[in-house]
Structure 1
Amino acid sequence: MTIDSATVEAFAPTGTLRASINLGNPILANRDAQSGEPIGVSVDLAHAFAQCVGVPLELVVFDAAGKSVEAVSDGRADFGFFAVDPKRGETIAFTAPYVLIEGFYLVRDASPIRNNADVDRPHHRVAVGKGSAYDLFLTRELKTATIVRAPTSPAVVPTFLEQELEVAAGVKQQLEADAAKTSGLRLLDERFMVIRQAMGVARSRGETAAATLRDFVEAMKRNGFVAEALERHRIAGASLAPLE
């Protein structure tokens, strides 16, 4: 990709390209067990985009999606990696998704909840990560159940257990990993949403910046970069999004 000087300035006004990285979604970003440095598909994409822009990269790391969105919206970071959502779209210009991830519900073995339709009941409390895609989606979709917001997505199952809630909602793989540590838990059989993971830039940076980021994502899907990153990081349960 060829990026002109005006677009470089729009993306990196400080001279360094600051990428907002959310560690609350372990499918896309995590910390290396030995070095402690951020690793993952989104980190790889951040490095690749910085190479295209031709400026140094700085990773601005957060533990929750909401914080990551806020950093890009208010200019503390220059771009980021988010689940597409209309509320976030008020301030963020999204690319097409590069990865698709499934959202599931977790309940106790003894729970009478057997399918997704059983969740939205007046006496049910659903744990979600504050500001996550699941929080935003379920806030719109659930009409009678009560949403209980854990501080981060990895804290959802601990909150569900500690407060003796009826349901936990989140990334399927995160819920499965947490359930494996505690007996007596099960996932419902069907997903309640598909999360469209995309890159995004503040709308205030202009349409040219947004279009450049969109073109970058499509190029990374087309040339196999995203698929190779998913394989390299041994990511299961997430699929490459189709070209758009």
Structure 2
Amino acid sequence: MSQRDELLTEIAPTGVIRAAVNMSNAALVQLDPVTGSLTGPSAQIATELAADLDCGLSLVQYGSAADILAAAEDNEWDVAFIASDPSRADRFSFSPPYTTVTASFLVSDSSPLRSVEHVDVEGVRIAAARTAAYTKQLERQVRNAIVLHAENPASALDMLVSSRCDAAAGLTESLSRFCEENPGFRVVEGTFSKVPQAIAVHRRCVHTSTFLSDFIQQHCRAGKPSN
């Protein structure tokens, strides 16, 4: 079997590359309401990857990174666009980051919390998605506030809306979009986390891992826009 055939056996075992994308991460992928197509850095790079390998592409949509991880063993996807987090390294190999997103806090307009530094105080309750990479970073940083686990980013926002917490953690761009659609809320100043975004594959896919490392490095060297 040629090197290319070995690669395609790993990255496109069904004949097309099934690329998992996280629809809750608005900084990386969005659904165009007019055309119905997916846009954003994740969709763009997946398209370039398929073109580079002369393969078909299927963008598999998931509601959260947790959903992508849960589907990992069910053979639903071949590559996944998720955060490169050390806690996931036992299951997946990651490409170099193709971009970095930031995380901050959403609060109500009436909240006295003005910046990221103000949030970590005794008595403040922060809702955060249980399996999000930024939540793991948040838990390592917090000294005084209480982190309440939500099932996903949307659930964390619901907790804030229903006054079950004082702040909701999330990706800055997603929180900003929420504010645009829901008056009465604002994003505090600053960020508490920078989360590198990469392409993940199962650790058994050694040929794909090597290929993706080279592919992303070439992508970044070419200076192609990531957003």
TM-score for both structures, normalised by structure 1: 0.81
Match of 1:212 in 2: 211
Unaligned runs of 5+ in 1: 231-244
What is the rounded CA distance, in whole Å, between the counterparts of 2:189 and 2:121 in structure 1? 18
Residues 103 and 171 in structure 2, CA contact (< 8 A), matched pair in contact too: yes
- The count of corresponding residues between Structure 1 and Structure 2 is 226
Counterparts in 2 of 1:202-241, with a 5 A limit?
Answer: 202-206=202-206, 208-225=207-224, 227=225, 230=227
Residues 83 and 133 in structure 1, CA contact (< 8 A), matched pair in contact too: yes
What is the rounded CA distance, in whole Å, between the counterparts of 1:43 and 1:91 in structure 2? 23
State the SS of the aligned residue for 1:189. coil
What is the rounded CA distance, in whole Å, between the counterparts of 1:58 and 1:3 in structure 2? 23
Measure how far apart 1:142 and its partner are.
Answer: 3.0
Counterparts in 2 of 1:6-25, with a 5 A limit?
Answer: 6-25=6-25
What is the rounded CA distance, in whole Å, between the counterparts of 1:182 and 1:55 in structure 2? 41
Deviation readout 1:189-241 (Å, 9 max, x if unpaired): 221011111111111212x321111111111122233x1x52xxxxxxxxxxx
TM-score for both structures, normalised by structure 2: 0.87
Match of 2:80 in 1: 80
Moved more, 175-184 or 52-61: 175-184
Match of 2:47 in 1: 47
What is the rounded CA distance, in whole Å, between the counterparts of 1:70 and 1:202 in structure 2? 13
What is the rounded CA distance, in whole Å, between the counterparts of 2:52 and 2:3 in structure 1? 7
State the SS of the aligned residue for 1:106. strand
Residues 24 and 174 in structure 2, CA contact (< 8 A), matched pair in contact too: no
Residues 130 and 152 in structure 2, CA contact (< 8 A), matched pair in contact too: yes
Deviation readout 1:168-205 (Å, 9 max, x if unpaired): 11111221222234444332222101111111111121
Q: Measured at CA, do residues 3 and 142 of structure 1 come closer, stay the same or move farther in structure 2, by a change above 3 Å?
A: farther
Amino-acid identity (%): 27
Unaligned runs of 5+ in 2: none
State the SS of the aligned residue for 1:10. helix
Counterparts in 2 of 1:119-130, with a 5 A limit?
Answer: 119-130=119-130
Match of 2:195 in 1: 195
What is the rounded CA distance, in whole Å, between the counterparts of 1:177 and 1:66 in structure 2? 21
Deviation readout 1:55-87 (Å, 9 max, x if unpaired): 222221101011123334553211111111111
Measure how far apart 1:155 and its partner are.
Answer: 4.6
Residues 3 and 52 in structure 1, CA contact (< 8 A), matched pair in contact too: no
State the SS of the aligned residue for 1:101. strand
Match of 1:235 in 2: none
Residues 138 and 193 in structure 2, CA contact (< 8 A), matched pair in contact too: no
Residues 138 and 192 in structure 2, CA contact (< 8 A), matched pair in contact too: no
Measure how far apart 1:24 and its partner are.
Answer: 0.9
Match of 2:70 in 1: 70
Q: Measured at CA, do residues 102 and 144 of structure 1 come closer, stay the same or move farther in structure 2, by a change above 3 Å?
A: same
Measure how far apart 1:143 and its partner are.
Answer: 4.6
Which residue identity does 1:222 align to in structure 2? R
